[in-house]
A and B are shown apart, each in its own frame.
Chain A
Amino acid sequence: MSSAAIDPRLANARAAPKRGLRLSWSDPMFRNIVWQVLIVGLVVAVVWYLVANTQHNLEVRRIATGLGFLSNTAGIPIAETLIPYDPAVNTWGRAVIEGILNTFKVAVVGIILSTILGTLIGIGRLSKNWLVAKVTSVYVETLRDIPVLLQLLFWYGLLQALPGPREFRGSTSWIFISNRGLKLPILVWEPAHWWALGACVLGLILTMAWNATANRRRDATGVKPPVWPAALLLMAGFPALVWASLGAPHEIDFPALKGFNFAGGGTITPEYFALLLGLTLYTAAYIAEIVRSGIQAVPKGQWEAAAAIGLHPGAVLKLIVLPQALRVIIPPMTSQFLNLTKNSSLAVAIGFQDVVSISGTMLNQTGQAIEGVGIIMAVFLAFSLSISLFMNWYNARIALVER
Chain B
Amino acid sequence: MFRLTVGAGLLASALLAALPAMAQPSGSATLDAVKARGTLICGVAGAVPGFSLPDSQGIMRGIDADSCRNVAAAVLGDANKVKFAVTTTQNRFTALQSGEIDLLVRSTTWTLGREASLGLEFAGVNYYDGTGFLVKKALGVKSAKEMDGATICVQPGTSTELAISDYYRVNKMKFTPILIQDLAEIQAAFLAGRCDAYSTDSSALATFRATQTNKDDFLLLPEIISKEPLGYVVRKGDDKWFDIVRWSYFATVAAEEMDVSSKNVDEMLASTNPDIRRLLGVEGEMGKSLGLDAKWAYNIIKQVGNFGETWDRNITVLGVPRGINAVWTKGGLHYAPPIR
Which residues of A approach B to under 8 Å, CB–CB?
57-58, 60-64, 75-79, 87-88, 153, 157, 160-161, 164, 166, 179-180, 258-261, 263, 270-271, 348-351, 353, 357, 360-361, 363-367, 369
Query: Given A62, A260, A360, which contacts B156 in the complex, CB threshold below 8 Å?
Result: A360
Q: CA of A166 to CA of B94 in the docked complex: distance in angstroms?
A: 42
Question: What B residues does A79 contact at CB under 8 A?
Answer: 176-179
- Flag if A161 contacts B192 (CB, 8 Å): yes
Query: Given A60, A77, A153, A365, which contacts B157 in the complex, CB threshold below 8 Å?
Result: A365
Question: What A residues does B223 contact at CB under 8 A?
Answer: none
Question: What A residues does B236 contact at CB under 8 A?
Answer: 60-62
Contact A349:B185 (CB < 8 A) given known A88-B169, A367-B93 = yes
Question: What B residues does A75 contact at CB under 8 A?
Answer: 162, 165-166
Q: CA of A259 to CA of B139 in the docked complex: distance in angstroms?
A: 10
Contacts between the two chains (Cβ within 8 Å), count: 127
A61-B235, A160-B194 known, 13 other contacts, Cβ within 8 Å: A60-B237, A61-B119, A77-B179, A87-B165, A88-B169, A153-B185, A260-B139, A260-B141, A349-B185, A364-B157, A366-B117, A367-B118, A369-B97
Q: CA of A145 to CA of B281 in the docked complex: distance in angstroms?
A: 62
Q: CA of A160 to CA of B182 in the docked complex: distance in angstroms?
A: 16
Interface centre among B178, B194, B237 (most CB of A within 10 A): B194
Tell me if B262 is interfacial: C-beta within 8 Å of chain A: no
Q: Within the complex, what minimum Cβ distance (angstroms) separates A302 from chain B?
A: 51
- Flag if B189 contacts A160 (CB, 8 Å): yes
The residues in B between 155 and 169 inclusive whose CB is less than 8 angstroms from any CB of A are 156-157, 161-162, 164-166, 169
- Flag if B179 contacts A357 (CB, 8 Å): yes
Question: What A residues does B196 contact at CB under 8 A?
Answer: 260-261
- Flag if B157 contacts A160 (CB, 8 Å): no
Q: Within the complex, what minimum Cβ distance (angstroms) separates A161 from chain B?
A: 7
Question: What B residues does A166 contact at CB under 8 A?
Answer: 138
Question: What B residues does A77 contact at CB under 8 A?
Answer: 161, 164-165, 175, 177, 179
Contact A63:B149 (CB < 8 A) given known A79-B177, A361-B161 = no
In the complex, residue of chain B having the shortest beta-carbon distance to the beta carbon of A358: B156
- Flag if B175 contacts A62 (CB, 8 Å): no
- Flag if B192 contacts A349 (CB, 8 Å): no
- Flag if B151 contacts A180 (CB, 8 Å): yes
Tell me if B282 is interfacial: C-beta within 8 Å of chain A: no
Interface centre among B92, B97, B148, B193 (most CB of A within 10 A): B193
- Flag if B162 contacts A261 (CB, 8 Å): no
- Flag if A61 contacts B237 (CB, 8 Å): yes
- Flag if A271 contacts B178 (CB, 8 Å): yes
Q: CA of A271 to CA of B177 in the docked complex: distance in angstroms?
A: 12
B111-135 CB mask vs A (1 if < 8 Å, else 0) is 0011011111000000000000000
Tell me if B180 is interfacial: C-beta within 8 Å of chain A: yes
Question: What A residues does B182 contact at CB under 8 A?
Answer: 349
Q: CA of A363 to CA of B162 in the docked complex: distance in angstroms?
A: 14
- Flag if B156 contacts A76 (CB, 8 Å): yes
Tell me if B143 is interfacial: C-beta within 8 Å of chain A: no
Query: Given B139, B148, B156, which contacts A361 in the complex, CB threshold below 8 Å?
Result: B156
Question: What A residues does B92 contact at CB under 8 A?
Answer: 364
Tell me if B181 is interfacial: C-beta within 8 Å of chain A: yes
Question: What B residues does A62 contact at CB under 8 A?
Answer: 116-117, 119, 236-237
Q: CA of A178 to CA of B175 in the docked complex: distance in angstroms?
A: 18
Interface centre among A60, A76, A363 (most CB of B within 10 A): A76
Question: What A residues does B177 contact at CB under 8 A?
Answer: 77-79
Cross-chain pairs A/B with CB under 8 angstroms, 22 sampled: A57-B97, A60-B236, A61-B236, A62-B119, A77-B179, A79-B177, A88-B165, A160-B189, A160-B192, A160-B194, A260-B196, A261-B196, A349-B181, A351-B180, A351-B189, A361-B179, A363-B90, A364-B89, A364-B90, A364-B92, A364-B93, A365-B113
Contact A261:B157 (CB < 8 A) given known A63-B119, A161-B192, A349-B182 = no
Question: What B residues does A367 contact at CB under 8 A?
Answer: 93, 97, 114, 117-120
B69-106 CB mask vs A (1 if < 8 Å, else 0) is 00000000000000000000111111001000000000
In the complex, residue of chain B having the shortest beta-carbon distance to the beta carbon of A353: B179
- Flag if A361 contacts B157 (CB, 8 Å): yes
- Flag if B237 contacts A350 (CB, 8 Å): no
Interface centre among A57, A61, A180 (most CB of B within 10 A): A61
- Flag if A258 contacts B149 (CB, 8 Å): yes
Tell me if B34 is interfacial: C-beta within 8 Å of chain A: no
Query: Given B148, B165, B179, which contacts A259 in the complex, CB threshold below 8 Å?
Result: B148
> Which 7 pairs between the two chains have the least Cβ-Cβ distance?
A61-B119, A367-B118, A364-B157, A160-B192, A351-B180, A63-B119, A77-B177
Query: Given A60, A63, A260, which contacts B150 in the complex, CB threshold below 8 Å?
Result: A260
Question: What B residues does A369 contact at CB under 8 A?
Answer: 93-94, 97
Q: CA of A272 to CA of B116 in the docked complex: distance in angstroms?
A: 36
Question: What A residues does B117 contact at CB under 8 A?
Answer: 62-64, 366-367
Q: CA of A270 to CA of B151 in the docked complex: distance in angstroms?
A: 13
In the complex, residue of chain A having the shortest beta-carbon distance to the beta carbon of B96: A61
Interface centre among A64, A157, A261, A363 (most CB of B within 10 A): A261
Query: Given B119, B149, B188, which contacts A260 in the complex, CB threshold below 8 Å?
Result: B149
Contact A270:B119 (CB < 8 A) given known A62-B236, A360-B90 = no
Q: Within the complex, what minimum Cβ distance (angstroms) separates B111 from chain A?
A: 10
Contact A160:B193 (CB < 8 A) given known A61-B235, A62-B236, A366-B117 = yes
